[in-house]
Structure 1
Amino acid sequence: MISPALAHIPALLAPERLPQYAPLAVQTRDGLVESVHYGSVIATAADGRTLLAAGEPLAPFYPRSALKPLQAVAMVRAGLDLPDELLALAAASHSGAAIHREGSRRILDLHGLTPRVLENSTDLPYGAREREKWLRDGGQATQLAQNCSGKHAAMAATCVINGWPVQGYLDPAHPLQQLVARTVTDLTGEEPERTSTDGCGTPLFALTLRGMARAFGKLAAEAEAGDGAEACVARAMRRRPEMVAGEDRDVTALMRLVPGLLAKDGFEGVQLVGLPDGRAVAVKISDGGDRARMPVTVRVLAALDVDTSPLARIAAAPVLGGGRPVGLLQATEFLAAPDARNDSDAPDAL
């Protein structure tokens, strides 16, 4: 019997309506396949054409925290003006280190606010090392430690700048969230298929991998020569990747190791990448697991002729047995020209 607390949740999709995911990554142990990660992926050109795809990249999905750079663009369009390290934090899923918590507090201080105005959920620091230190020091779950605190501090600050009510800034009808919704549509070229609520409480839009890739391609290209909100956000993220994620995070490593690359991850196996020439990559791992996200992303970047030699450490992961390598987690050979089901354009095969 379904719990009354879950009664409002829609029934599961019928099997015939599930997205047609493709096997994107495989883990082997002593030559035997142990696990397979399915999902969808797309790479787009600067003009939005599909360059390659696997799975069903036009199936609506929730980008989760990969939306944060787009939300940050909306805030900059509304007058938010922050130094690079704090603007990068506004687009972050940070690890909860002291630099992140203090940065969120700085955003609030600059606009006459205190952490009391934050409406995000409480949590422990996201990073493993940061969480362990926090707990050793007697820390508890707080809104500043939660990985979205930079975004929420920036949202409250944007309300102050525009004379909007700070209380209730997460309401979809609030002027801030209406602006975010318009900005997401503008950057992705899509109307959301539906709207939900993210884990931190922010309105969340169902989009396609193609739409999200287009948005990241725009941001990354604007960072090269633009002077608008897209350029400001993208440049801040590229200059201060440790604020976007944190030390020991693969997204930080990716932006440090590939010049000009813009990257943002999201819960439930989401990865977005924008390249300086406007090309972009979007990945969704169907089981929501995190470990397959980066090997698949690096595989697509290699197919786009990006030099991925510096990324060997995050392109595959050893499988250990008794403390020694006995297998490997790596991307499959999933790349092929997308079929008509996935894209109405005339895609170019690699």
Structure 2
Amino acid sequence: MHRTTPADAPAIREPRHVPVAHVTRGGMVEGVHHGSVVVLDADGEVRFRLGDIEVACYPRSALKPLQAVAMVRAGLPLDGELLSLAMGSHSGEERHLAGARRILEFAGLGEDDLRNVPDLPYDPAVRDTWIREGRPPSRLAQNCSGKHAAMLYLCKLNGWPLTDYDDPTHPLQRVIAGVVEELTGQRIARVSVDGCGTPLFAVSLHGLARAAARIATGAPGTPEFRVADALRAHPEMASGAGRDTAALMHAVPGLLAKDGFEGVQVAALPDGRAIAVKIADGANRARVPVAAAALALAGVEPRLLTGFAGEPTTGGGRPVGGVRPVAALDPSALPAPV
């Protein structure tokens, strides 16, 4: 288990993002996505950096594996698909709703005890079905319901208050904040509120990658190992059918990966190599190819990443360009590892 003394909090200022992806059409650059990228070697050293990797940012749902480690350390007894769901940003499929109900049943609680916001399912096809069937928004359908159910279950087990588990001063959230600081190796720069209502901690992109590496390399029997094992074994429970982060974990053996709203992606390999990406405008169309390019820079075989090269731009129904990482993200531009 890693134990570190957190360094100072990252600076809060306007990020100095740089171009990370081009949108091309007919051989010209039509648009540019800015952002930042960090790639860590297995020893934790920065192998590659682009943009502003030390400024404070909100990881959004990419923080969920860290929250899960904190909860397992505090006594959460979940494993496998339910632990994966506890760190999920799920699509709202029936398996996700059923899993969240099971966690609540373990605690002797129900949907009304959740404090996340009611919502329709995240997946467009599932959401359209709900609308056709006249089903209203619900807390179970909201994409963070697995995390909220797990938080309630842990509170029930530890005798902590149930009605304000989303308050930053609650014992649960204080435990999570401490583990976030430990795993990232830095103080939290600011506390805000995520879309689902739980506290959101600002750390640097570098710190986020460092935390992912520590979870991915957790020794058997540790909470880090349990979290990594659950997410690797059940990626669709943390996302959904056809979701890109689950597909990425299937494509790259042993990969641990989690995305977050506003263009955040973190991933780590079992030997500690890790990447983190932030797309400044929050665009998923840039997040996926830039993350794949970062993984290639980390040493993942490019043939495993061919399905994540970026969506095409079309004209008249035909491909006329695409979303491509900038030249600086080409692995051939890096010196060979020593």
Q: Aligned to 2:241, which of 228, 244, 247?
A: 247
Cα 1:21–1:63, aligned 2, differ >3 Å: closer, same or farther?
Answer: same
Residue deviations 1:302-321, cap 9 Å, x none?
Answer: 12220131332222211111
Q: Distance in 1 between matches of 2:145 and 2:217?
A: 27
Contact 2:33 2:281 in 1 (8 A): yes
Contact 2:205 2:277 in 1 (8 A): yes
Q: Distance in 2 between matches of 1:47 and 1:245?
A: 30
Contact 1:123 1:143 in 2 (8 A): yes
> Which residue does the alignment assign to 1:206?
202
Q: Distance in 1 between matches of 2:136 and 2:30?
A: 37
TM-score normalised to the size of structure 2? 0.92
> Which residue does the alignment assign to 2:132?
136
2:291 pairs with 1:297: yes
Q: Distance in 2 between matches of 1:52 and 1:158?
A: 39
Cα 1:349–1:257, aligned 2, differ >3 Å: closer, same or farther?
Answer: closer
Q: Which amino acid aligns with 1:327?
A: G
For structure 1, which runs of at least 5 residues remain unmatched after alignment? 1-16, 338-346
Tell me by how many angstroms 1:162 deviates. 0.5
Tell me by how many angstroms 1:110 deviates. 1.3
Tell me by how many angstroms 1:332 deviates. 0.9
Residue deviations 1:79-118, cap 9 Å, x none?
Answer: 1112301000000000110110111111001111111110
Q: Distance in 2 between matches of 1:259 and 1:335?
A: 22
Q: Which amino acid aligns with 2:286?
A: A
Q: Distance in 1 between matches of 2:217 and 2:79?
A: 21
Q: Distance in 1 between matches of 2:159 and 2:147?
A: 18
Q: Aligned to 1:39, which of 2, 27, 35?
A: 35
Q: Distance in 2 between matches of 1:348 and 1:230?
A: 31
2:309 pairs with 1:315: yes
Tell me by how many angstroms 1:336 deviates. 9.2
Q: Which amino acid aligns with 1:235?
A: D
Q: Distance in 2 between matches of 1:142 and 1:245?
A: 18
Residue deviations 1:20-51, cap 9 Å, x none?
Answer: 21110111111121111000010113433111
Q: Distance in 1 between matches of 2:137 and 2:309?
A: 33
Q: Distance in 2 between matches of 1:257 and 1:305?
A: 14
Q: Distance in 1 between matches of 2:89 and 2:174?
A: 22
Tell me by how many angstroms 1:74 deviates. 0.8
Count of aligned residue pairs for this structure pair: 323
> Which residue does the alignment assign to 1:270?
264
Tell me by how many angstroms 1:291 deviates. 1.1
> Which residue does the alignment assign to 1:60?
56
Q: Distance in 1 between matches of 2:137 and 2:91?
A: 13
Q: Distance in 1 between matches of 2:194 and 2:202?
A: 11
Q: Distance in 1 between matches of 2:190 and 2:243?
A: 31
2:85 pairs with 1:89: yes
Q: Distance in 2 between matches of 1:67 and 1:265?
A: 9
Q: Distance in 2 between matches of 1:334 and 1:121?
A: 41
Q: Distance in 2 between matches of 1:253 and 1:32?
A: 30
> Which residue does the alignment assign to 2:3?
none
Q: Aligned to 2:114, which of 115, 118, 123?
A: 118
Q: Distance in 2 between matches of 1:108 and 1:117?
A: 9
Structure 1 stretches of at least 4 aligned residues deviating more than 3 Å after TM superposition: 347-350
Q: Which amino acid aligns with 1:242?
A: E
Residue deviations 1:274-326, cap 9 Å, x none?
Answer: 11101110000011111100100111111222013133222221111121111
Q: What percentage of residue pairs aligned between the two structures are identical?
A: 53
Q: Distance in 2 between matches of 1:316 and 1:120?
A: 33
Tell me by how many angstroms 1:334 deviates. 2.4
